[in-house]
Structure 1
Amino acid sequence: MRVFRLLIVWLMLLTGTLYDSQITADIVSRVKEEYKAYGHSAVLEISEDLEWYVLNTEKGGRSRSELYSIHNDIPTILPEAFWFKFLSKRWLIAPLKNGKTYCRNLETNKESRLDGSFKGFAISDNRLLMVNNKSGNMMILDSGLSILWESGTVEVYDVNEQDKSMVFLQNNTLIDLDILTLRKKEMPVKEKFSWIRSSNNRIWTLDDRLRLSVGYKGDSKIKTIDLELPPHLEVFQKDGWQADIREDRYLLLPVAQRKKENKELADIFYTSLSYQYRKKMKQWAVCDIQEKKWQYLPREGDWYRTQKFISDSDFISYDVVSKNYDTIGTPKVDIQLHIDWGRREKHLKSPNTERSHFFYHKGLGRLLFFDKGRWMIEDVEKGMVLPVRMPESTNFLNDKESGLTDEPWDKVELINDETVILTEEYDLYSFNLRTSVLKKLTDGRAKNRQYRLIKEKDFSEASDWVTNKRKCQGQSLMVQFFDRSDFYSGVALITADGKEKWQVKEEAYIKNAKRLKNKVFYTSSFYNKPLKISLVDSGRSGLIRENTTEAETNAFRYSIFQYPDADGVLLDAVLLYPKNYKSGEKFPMVVEVYENKSRAITNNKLPKLNDGLGFNHMHYVHQDYFVLLPQVGFKVGDLENSVTSSVTNVMQEVLKLKDIDKDRIGLIGGSFGGYEVTMLMGKTKLFKTAIAGVPVVDLPSSYLTFGKMRNQPEYWRVEKHQLRMGKNLFDNWDSYLSNSPVYHMKNIDEPMLIWIGKDDDNVNPDQGRSFFIGLKRLQKKAVLLEYPKQGHNITDPLAAEDLNIKVWQWFDYFLKDNPPADWIRPML
């Protein structure tokens, strides 16, 4: 057969027909032109009052953003920007790609472009404050976006949006400006200061010598306090001063342990310390201004302890460096709770510092925390810990990395003074922090439906002094659900005790759900559905917009099915049919693997030739391939067999469709999918060829590699992340070897294409190279593509298109018997 095929290729070379049928530049141009007819839209931003949205549309190789009101379909073309942001109900701002800042008043339709990069503050319906943090320039705009006031260079400033004023330092003058009336009060200052704050009719300043000054607005009397840190501490000034004032009494000052100048020529590392030990650790000091004393100071020599506020006046402190915690992804640490600004201390039983893992209620003295797959409740004063009584059928452990990260499904949300919402795999539960009563609110597990809470407003956790108070969701809860049977979703309103008031279900997948009281705005789309934008008000569904121009691009057949893994657990899979599918005809198939590719059907994807990992499933549908997108099953410590049995089982199920040519099936995957591809090719004979991008192939070497992206060893990724080994390399040598694709390379007989980015800081490029070198030494057929100046994804447009075309040419040669591209021929 091989001799016959070579003879055919030789005859085609002689006649010249080989080159006529290659995927040439002309064919690529024709396909790209065809794809220009297809459009895709997505909502980028929604206003807080749900009255406005920004819609981005890609079509014809171009991208444009438009502003819409929910009350009409009249677009306003917006300039090219990195992102868009609504400020209150009246303003829209955006940093433009030409370096300017775009401003728009939604009521007056006036717009302006400011030179430079500005941050915006919506002071009122007719006052917009814009601040350029780089140049120090500030300006106030009216409703027509005319400049009412403009400053020169401002050194430090603070905006008080509540009383609509700002204070700033300019030319040795402290200025207090009323943003509405533009009246200002000036006060000359002798010393410059580095930090300023305006609160409750007071102005606070702090200079480099730690001289704290405070005065009432309009009063020339200034009270000055000279603060002095102990010798072992210094002010932490990275990214500017980040102090804060609380209750008009407590100063929060960022500090760090004072270190001697490092005169060592070598970088020194210790097995007892994490790799972060060389960085200055930001700590917090608390000064009681009323008592004129430091209420809390980090201890001398406590180099690596940091603090995080978990209520207005209470904070935790912990050390993630000296215990070598870079061995795992989510460290479990010893935590001290400091109560009332550090006046009292309690040792917590909770080991978690991630905000999604705990909820602290100061008034009740209770700490709810997640550990070892379940929720626990701690009485802070008594030091007692009890598990939350969860029904046996429930699963509160997120299946991310097969549960190895020990994470909950979602963060805790407060719905009234003492009750929170806990998220389970399928259902939502209320939990009373005072009585410890857990109550199920939904019936998702019985309906094979997953419920998630729609928050009324996102909560920012930008700094470590932000508390973990949640916005109370009220007596009614807006929820979104996802049906596992058809992948469709919907929204519903339920009472705090679980009674459903109304429900709306879409024959599509819902995204961007945003709630305001009894209203919810959302978008929906699907493989067969164009983008829809909807607003549900008290259960009455209203269609705002439907992109009917997309409908013709998505009239393709698909099927969703389930198959069992090795343990009989049912997993999802999606089969996409060729564009020109006809029953009874044979078509080739490409299988794309990662973790759960079946969810890709919930997106309305455009056919393109610029995917950063080299594969766009819609392109292959258009080129008359079947595309299989399976969810893959994983067993901790045994990916070798769990991945192999999972993919073998899904292939047995899908090949019941006789229109799939079982002799013309290819496999592709990138990143973790690249690992799966290289493993499957050494363990099965299911595929005629395979393509692996940026793969990990050698677990022991990856385990002992220093990762550039996170600046720490990679063993946490192998043990606790996608590779799921679960155990230490040195206690599990044989398993690490058998779970490494290089261990099975000798069994590979089919040709493979491997590609890497030479500047990949996520996966060491030597992983992909070593796999190619092994294939070369074994005299297997393979090609390696190395893209210079590219990383884990190919971001350069020309390089991305080159990779996509080469992947296409590879599959067309091996799965359709089309002639090989010139770059493939040397391998043959």
Structure 2
Amino acid sequence: MAIKIKYLLVSIILNGFIFIPAQQQGDTLTQWKAKFATLGGVPKISSEGTWIGINKQYKLGGDSAYVVSTKDKTIHKIVSTGVLDFLNEEGVFGRKADQLQFLNLKTGKIYQYNNASNYYRLDNLNRYAIYSRDKHLIFYDLTGNQLQEMADIDGLMATDSKSKLYVVRQSEGKAKILETTGKRQEIVYSTENRISKIELTPSGKQLLITEVQIQKGHNQLTILDSEHDYKKVIQLNVPSKSELSLTEIQNGKYFLINSRVRFSEEQSSLVDIWYGNDPFVNLHKRMYVNNEYWLWDTIANKLQSLKIQENHVLESLNNARYFLTYLPRKDYNFNTFTPDINDAYIFDISTESLTAIGSLKQIPTLTKGWRPDFVGNRFFCSKNGRLFLASNDGKNWSLFSTSGKREALIEKFGLEKPVFTANSNQIYFESSDDLWKYDINRKKLTALGIAKGKKVEIKNQTNEFGESTLNSFLPEDSILLEVYDNYSNKTFYNMYRKGKWKEVVPETENRIDSDHLLFNRNMTSFYTLERNFNQPPTLYSYVNGHKNKLFNAGIKDVEAQKIKQKIYNFKAVGKNLRGILYYPIDYDPKGKYPMVVHIYQVQRTLSNDYLSPNNVSPVGFQIRTLLERGYFVYLPDIEQGKDGPGMSALECVNSALDALLKNPLIDQDRIALLGHSYGGYETNFIATQSQRFKTYVSGAGFSDLISSYHSYSYQYVKPFYFFYETGQFKMGDSVAEDKEKYLLNSPILNVENVKSPILLWGGKKDENVPLDQVMEFYIGLRRYQKQVIALLYKNGNHDFLHHPLEEKDRDEKILEWFDYFLKDIKDVPWINKQIKKKAPF
């Protein structure tokens, strides 16, 4: 191992240890990894942009959080393991389990509350309330002075987070709702029924109360006008055990009220009966019956019962007259992850008539790294409630009026999530090739030419979600756009305002995750959390075109700056692909080093991910640790061609390795291949076809496409064939339609051809890739007397992310496996029991 003496001395001085052979490391590796911290989670910015809250995280706990001034770089530390919550620009809340802290941002003083169950902000009054586990609710001002205390509060509360908090007190057969501001309180409602739930509408103008009337055998929905003396405006009887939901229409002028009961039936203790024509198949707990709907006109205070076909559902299109209705899961046979909506109708409540709009399918989208996904909401509604978008073929968008008339077919494949303008005259479409604008009046689609060949995402739209509908529109005349180059992995941000485009964050090679761009209310200042392979996460500000380092929590990683990365280009399956090669830290340019290749799908998006040894992705693969131990690490892209996933992976990996043949530092005779889950499948397949690898490690990998295709997934709670036809495997056809492709791409059918030792691992509690798939490959390898060891973890799930003992043992054994076969470190007893065949068991 050619690690320089200089590095070893520096490591002794800075860290108090050196890397020693794997079998002697014990806790040394763990202690080294524990020293690495990172900034992460979801950063939060105060509404005016004066403060940013961010978490500092460690692998073994000890997390904390910081609040950073964007004006003068004042820094406060606060205990928190979650997202920080600001009270205006005056204070911030941090929480860890039942320990709560409030930091006064003006004085820097921290007020701590133990045994806290929850807290509530009253922003307009500059005060807050703490609800403790002993059912006490105590109000405080910003300086920690106690204002009011209320006892025997049972935890049912609702707040507008501005000036009012509602609490329920139930005793002696009566229930009371009290409205309190922290200084005064008054009873706003009293009932002899038990109250099971209270909540405010999004506008805060109505208080919703669910009452249980046991003797009468039904529940009651009571709605109070919280703006006008708590007048009772609605009282509605609904079935007992029903779930109630209210959907705002036209900014709260109307509400669609839905009462539904979760399906239940008496189960036999002897047998479960599964029917072949059941579109729910073991998902009956997600099935609802007794759907009832009402439209509530809040202006006229009129409640109208809406009668629909039995078992159908009704959904808002942000219109008070026209609604979407359909039979859930009609003709669904689990070919896709989520059901299409077949035979949808528009229900006109004025005439009680139905207009057919056909069957609706999901539009595909490409996430970063060209991983296929789907736009989850199928109906995108305008702000004025007169239009919506949907797709009848899964390729092109159709523009409908809410009456059901199709106004236009937008014939352009590749248009992804649509966003209406505030005036509902135009629609912007995200895509993987530029931003597109559709002029509704002129029926004209135009590419804006600001991001040709790049993926765009609108960051400032307003989204109001329904079950299958989404009100999606822009605020006023502004667009904040993220532009991402799927090939180079670079990002920049543009803003459109007052008829002009302006670059607000210049193009960067640093990684900026989707929730790591922050901006103030007026979108005049922008902040990013950026990282790169050799740079820990750092908070930056972009103000008036100037980039400044704002905060990094004192995290330093001098060794990371030594990491060398090189991007290789290659072609396979008819596509231009890339591979990321990392060099060993402190490598000798005259030396020769082993290499570990990790595969999954397209991995170029990882080129700017900070290489902390504590990264949880890729699963079971410690890039940074391997670099420190004198290995090359290679992450090539894998795309799928016409011959199927296994054959495509083999072609891509061979081409990726060929691109490295001229690198004299890589020992071509000491290369290992590793993958997990889908990457484990690819590893299994390549192991049956290739002689270029000295060893393999496959985690939770599929081995038999036929048996897996015809299996039931307890992870996704449905038959698994969707995963092969339209999911990650992208086979396109069923087994019956293309048996040859499924057979050609099944590793188990060529298991006898494996030539190199392979380490398999899996969890006995894995519901994603059942352990049977790992065991089938192990049994096949054993039958043909191949060198194989399987690590079967009793409590392990799919990735061990929340199983630290299993994770630690697996990661150490994988490192020992690589050292054994690529560095000839042979004193590893658990491996020798397999390799040295005379060793006693």
Q: TM-score, normalised by structure 2?
A: 0.83
Q: 1:609 to 1:641 in 2, by over 3 A?
A: closer
Partner of 2:436: 429
Q: 1:602 to 1:312 in 2, by over 3 A?
A: farther
Tell me how far apart the structure 1 counterparts of residues 787 and 126 of structure 2 sit (CA, whole Å): 69
Partner of 1:141: 140
Q: 1:349 to 1:95 in 2, by over 3 A?
A: farther
Structure 1 contact 699–737 (Cα < 8 Å) conserved: yes
Q: How big is the shift at 1:81?
A: 2.6
Tell me how far apart the structure 1 counterparts of residues 642 and 138 of structure 2 sit (CA, whole Å): 57
Partner of 1:758: 764
Structure 1 contact 123–129 (Cα < 8 Å) conserved: no
Tell me how far apart the structure 2 counterparts of residues 541 and 138 of structure 1 sit (CA, whole Å): 45
Counterpart check, 1:417 vs 2:416: no
Tell me how far apart the structure 2 counterparts of residues 543 and 220 of structure 1 sit (CA, whole Å): 52
Moved more, 325-334 or 348-357: 348-357
Partner of 1:347: 356
Partner of 2:405: 383
Q: 1:472 to 1:180 in 2, by over 3 A?
A: farther
Give 3-state SS (helix, strand or coil) of 2:731's partner. Answer: coil
Partner of 2:670: 664
Structure 1 contact 40–605 (Cα < 8 Å) conserved: no
Partner of 2:519: 515
Tell me how far apart the structure 2 counterparts of residues 367 and 115 of structure 1 sit (CA, whole Å): 48
Give 3-state SS (helix, strand or coil) of 2:495's partner. Answer: strand
Q: Which amino acid aligns with 2:542?
A: V
Partner of 2:480: 478
Counterpart check, 1:540 vs 2:542: no
Tell me how far apart the structure 2 counterparts of residues 431 and 438 of structure 1 sit (CA, whole Å): 4
Structure 1 contact 413–420 (Cα < 8 Å) conserved: yes
Counterpart check, 1:816 vs 2:818: no
Structure 1 contact 157–169 (Cα < 8 Å) conserved: no
Q: How big is the shift at 1:115?
A: 1.5
1:774-808 alpha-carbon deviations (Å, 9 max, x no partner): 00001111000001111001232222111111111
Partner of 2:275: 270
Counterpart check, 1:579 vs 2:588: no
Structure 2 contact 377–470 (Cα < 8 Å) conserved: no
Tell me how far apart the structure 2 counterparts of residues 79 and 700 of structure 1 sit (CA, whole Å): 51
Partner of 1:252: 257
Q: 1:298 to 1:96 in 2, by over 3 A?
A: farther
Counterpart check, 1:296 vs 2:306: yes
Q: How big is the shift at 1:818?
A: 1.8
Q: 1:210 to 1:754 in 2, by over 3 A?
A: closer
Counterpart check, 1:367 vs 2:373: no
Judging by fraction of residues, say which structure has more strand: 2
Q: How big is the shift at 1:749?
A: 1.1
Give 3-state SS (helix, strand or coil) of 2:471's partner. Answer: coil
Q: 1:22 to 1:180 in 2, by over 3 A?
A: closer
Structure 2 contact 45–519 (Cα < 8 Å) conserved: no
Partner of 2:811: 804
Give 3-state SS (helix, strand or coil) of 2:594's partner. Answer: strand
Partner of 2:211: 207
Q: How big is the shift at 1:344?
A: 5.3
Structure 1 contact 295–341 (Cα < 8 Å) conserved: no
Partner of 2:8: none
Counting only pairs closer than 5 Å after superposition, residues 559-574 of structure 1 correspond to structure 2 as 559-567=566-574, 569-574=575-580
Counterpart check, 1:644 vs 2:666: no
Q: 1:218 to 1:544 in 2, by over 3 A?
A: closer
Structure 2 contact 206–227 (Cα < 8 Å) conserved: no
Give 3-state SS (helix, strand or coil) of 2:470's partner. Answer: coil
Q: TM-score, normalised by structure 1?
A: 0.84
1:703-728 alpha-carbon deviations (Å, 9 max, x no partner): 11111112111111121111221111
Tell me how far apart the structure 2 counterparts of residues 395 and 253 of structure 1 sit (CA, whole Å): 35
1:651-702 alpha-carbon deviations (Å, 9 max, x no partner): 1112221221111100000011000000111122121110000011111111
Q: Which runs of 5+ in 2 are unaligned?
A: 1-18, 213-217, 363-374, 836-841
Tell me how far apart the structure 2 counterparts of residues 224 and 434 of structure 1 sit (CA, whole Å): 41
Tell me how far apart the structure 2 counterparts of residues 59 and 201 of structure 1 sit (CA, whole Å): 43
Tell me how far apart the structure 1 counterparts of residues 102 and 346 of structure 2 sit (CA, whole Å): 44
Tell me how far apart the structure 1 counterparts of residues 56 and 246 of structure 2 sit (CA, whole Å): 42
Q: Which amino acid aligns with 1:825?
A: N
Counting only pairs closer than 5 Å after superposition, residues 399-410 of structure 1 correspond to structure 2 as 408=416, 410=417
- Give the fraction of aligned pairs with identical amino acids, expressed as a percent: 19
Counterpart check, 1:179 vs 2:181: yes
Give 3-state SS (helix, strand or coil) of 2:117's partner. Answer: coil
1:749 corresponds, among 727, 740, 755, to: 755
Counterpart check, 1:451 vs 2:456: yes
Q: Which runs of 5+ in 1 are unaligned?
A: 1-20, 397-407
Q: Which amino acid aligns with 2:394?
A: K
Structure 1 contact 22–819 (Cα < 8 Å) conserved: no
Give 3-state SS (helix, strand or coil) of 1:683's partner. Answer: coil
Q: 1:258 to 1:222 in 2, by over 3 A?
A: farther
1:59-95 alpha-carbon deviations (Å, 9 max, x no partner): 6966432312223455433325354444554443344
Structure 2 contact 421–477 (Cα < 8 Å) conserved: no
Q: Which amino acid aligns with 2:278?
A: L
Structure 2 contact 168–178 (Cα < 8 Å) conserved: yes
1:483-533 alpha-carbon deviations (Å, 9 max, x no partner): 456533332334576744555233422230123322221111111233331
Partner of 2:166: 166
Tell me how far apart the structure 2 counterparts of residues 245 and 191 of structure 1 sit (CA, whole Å): 27
Give 3-state SS (helix, strand or coil) of 1:624's partner. Answer: coil
Give 3-state SS (helix, strand or coil) of 1:571's partner. Answer: strand
Tell me how far apart the structure 2 counterparts of residues 248 and 429 of structure 1 sit (CA, whole Å): 32
Partner of 1:616: 622
Q: How big is the shift at 1:591?
A: 0.4
Tell me how far apart the structure 1 counterparts of residues 459 and 430 of structure 2 sit (CA, whole Å): 12
Give 3-state SS (helix, strand or coil) of 1:144's partner. Answer: coil
Q: How big is the shift at 1:432?
A: 2.9
Structure 1 contact 414–473 (Cα < 8 Å) conserved: yes
2:600 corresponds, among 587, 594, 599, to: 594
Tell me how far apart the structure 1 counterparts of residues 163 and 617 of structure 2 sit (CA, whole Å): 49
Counting only pairs closer than 5 Å after superposition, residues 454-473 of structure 1 correspond to structure 2 as 454-455=459-460, 459=463, 461=465, 464=467, 468-470=470-472, 472-473=474-475
Counting only pairs closer than 5 Å after superposition, residues 725-736 of structure 1 correspond to structure 2 as 725-736=731-742
Q: 1:192 to 1:248 in 2, by over 3 A?
A: farther
Tell me how far apart the structure 1 counterparts of residues 176 and 228 of structure 2 sit (CA, whole Å): 13
Tell me how far apart the structure 1 counterparts of residues 183 and 350 of structure 2 sit (CA, whole Å): 38
Structure 1 contact 366–433 (Cα < 8 Å) conserved: no
Give 3-state SS (helix, strand or coil) of 1:331's partner. Answer: coil
Partner of 1:126: 126
Q: Which amino acid aligns with 2:358?
A: K
Q: Which amino acid aligns with 1:622?
A: E
Q: How many residues align?
A: 776
1:355-374 alpha-carbon deviations (Å, 9 max, x no partner): 54431227473222244333
Q: How big is the shift at 1:164?
A: 3.2
Q: How big is the shift at 1:137?
A: 5.2
Structure 1 contact 566–645 (Cα < 8 Å) conserved: yes
Moved more, 67-76 or 627-636: 67-76
Partner of 2:50: 51
Partner of 1:23: 21
Tell me how far apart the structure 1 counterparts of residues 789 and 301 of structure 2 sit (CA, whole Å): 73
Tell me how far apart the structure 2 counterparts of residues 749 and 28 of structure 1 sit (CA, whole Å): 32
